[in-house]
Amino acid sequence: MPRDLFLMMIKHFYRKPPTMSKVYFKPITGKIKSCDVSPLARELLETFLEREKIVPEKKIPLKLHFGERGNRTYLGPENFSGIIDYLKEHSIESCYMETSVLYGGERFNREKHLKLAEDHGFTQLPVIIADGAHGEEAVDVPVNLKHYRFCSIARELAEAPQTLVLSHFKGHMLAGFGGALKQLSMGFASKGGKMAMHIGIKPKIWNFLCKKCNLCVSRCERKAITIGKHSFIDHEKCIGCGACFSICQHHAVSVLSLSSLWGTLFHRSHFREKLMEYAYAAHHGKKNIYMNFALSITAGCDCEPRPMIPCVENIGIFISSDPVAVDTACYDAVAAKGKSFKGVEQLAYAESIKVGSRQYELIEI
Ligand code: SF4
Ligand code: SF4
């Protein structure tokens, strides 16, 4: 018998069955106000910690999304009052933590992002933008996976031993759906990491838009930018951190090209695999807790600056220490209501690289 075939048979027969992860669930049916969600979220967190015998760290950031201006279905701060009270009562230091996005708008850099968080009422805790003023604060986490050897994670999140990841479960244009894994990947990544997942190319300067202000030069740690008659970025030096893209107010730094657009539109499974490799980087070795709110479930994401109508009625709140299990439980619950989001293959990929398990035991409280 050929040696490879023999080894394959051994692997097959001795393959470990996937582990079963516990997902705790608080059902919510019908319309509910955010202030009434708050005590239920607290009860679920307390039950989970108690039954799983988890001793929380002394400092736990709350990772969430402040919602794009104009969006009305993101999770508002009233949902989290009970959780914040619980942390305070147990002398656990906390803060709201988020990263800036790659595209323009009010979540583009720290200054604008802080203003948006305040305008949306996230004032009960200090707000920390984990990747710095312009996305320059990052840590390269080694992963050695199919698409990446390193993933660029926002420094404050990379350094936190335990994060409470609060996610709104809903659809997403590119990822198919967004929950704990999407938060872990795109949400924990630095601007450079986001760029690497979205397009995998280095930025370019559009000379016809460049005002020669040199702001980008002052931000570029790698001295990769030359501003002049023909401004350009030296891609040998550029590490794709995104700081120049973020700082340029004239939209002269571009991350768009035909090849990147093609890749984003037609190779979504690669995009989703890349997301999961970033989720691995953000999850591996941490004691994170993942709480998904399957409420006001929309087909679009909270980053879309427009009101949206939910496509599925409210389901409830899920919590687990396994981000794959908690997302799978939400995905299944939404599918049981007749709405199958795209992107289910990312759960299998996440399981294959050991981010977590698709097998879960649902424990209703
Ligand atoms: S910040 Fe923008 S406009 Fe200013 S020099 Fe750089 S590319 Fe040109
Ligand atoms: S040129 Fe590259 S390394 Fe320099 S700021 Fe822009 S993305 Fe970062």
Same domain for 184 and 307? yes
Write down the mean pLDDT value for the chain.
Answer: 90
Give me the pLDDT at residue 219, please: 79
Same domain for 131 and 82? yes
Same domain for 168 and 28? yes
* In-domain check, residue 273: no
Does the Cβ of 222 fall within 6 Å of ligand 2?
yes
Q: Which two tokens stand for residue 64?
A: 């969430």
Give me the pLDDT at residue 269, please: 59
Same domain for 164 and 209? no
Number of folded domains that form the chain: 2
* In-domain check, residue 5: no
Give me the pLDDT at residue 6, please: 65
Which ranges of the chain have pLDDT less than 50?
Answer: none
Range of the domain at 209: 204-254
Which residue, of 237, 254, 271, is where some domain finishes?
A: 254
Cα 202 to middle of ligand 2, angstroms: 8
What residues have CB less than 8 Å from 144, skipping those under 6 apart? none
Give me the pLDDT at residue 295, please: 97
Same domain for 75 and 222? no
Q: Which two tokens stand for residue 4?
A: 């490879």
Cα 160 to middle of ligand 2, angstroms: 26
Give me the pLDDT at residue 2, please: 61
Query: For residue 14, what are the β-bridge partners?
Result: none
Same domain for 94 and 65? yes
CATH of the domain at 52: 3.40.50.11440
pTM tops 0.85 = no
**pLDDT tens readout for residues 57-107:** 999 999 999 998 888 999 999 999 999 999 999 999 999 999 998 766 788
Q: Hey, which of 233, 234, 236, 245 would you mutate to test ligand 2's pocket, going by the most ligand atoms within 8 Å of its Cβ?
A: 233
143 and 277 Cβ atoms separated by less than 8 Å: yes
Question: What is the rounded (10 degree) CA torsion for 359, 50, 126, 157?
Answer: -40
* In-domain check, residue 269: no
Give me the pLDDT at residue 101, please: 86
Does the Cβ of 135 fall within 6 Å of ligand 2?
no
Same domain for 156 and 244? no
CATH of the domain at 208: 3.30.70.20
d(CA 182, CA 20): 21
Cα 227 to middle of ligand 1, angstroms: 8
**Number of helices and strands in the chain (H, E):** 13, 16
Which residue, of 254, 269, 294, is where some domain finishes?
A: 254
What residues have CB less than 8 Å from 172, skipping those under 6 apart? 178, 182, 300, 301, 343
Residue identifier of the C-alpha nearest atom 8 of ligand 2 = 241
Does the Cβ of 220 fall within 6 Å of ligand 2?
yes
Q: Look at residues 94, 90, 89 and name the one whose alpha carbon lies nearest to residue 126.
A: 94
Burial class from Cβ neighbours inside 10 Å (0-12, 13-18, 19+) for residue 13 reads: exposed
* In-domain check, residue 122: yes
Lining ligand 1 with CB less than 6 A are: 205, 210-216, 227, 231, 247-248, 250, 252-253
Does the Cβ of 242 fall within 6 Å of ligand 2?
yes
Report the nearest atom of ligand 2 relative to the CA of 225: 1
Cα 244 to middle of ligand 1, angstroms: 8
Same domain for 210 and 180? no
d(CA 72, CA 306): 7
* In-domain check, residue 223: yes
Closest ligand to C-alpha of residue 245 is 2
Task: State phi, psi for 178 to the nearest 5 degrees.
Answer: -130, 130
Same domain for 45 and 70? yes
Q: Which two tokens stand for residue 253?
A: 């730094």
Same domain for 248 and 177? no
CB atoms within 10 A of CB 344: 17
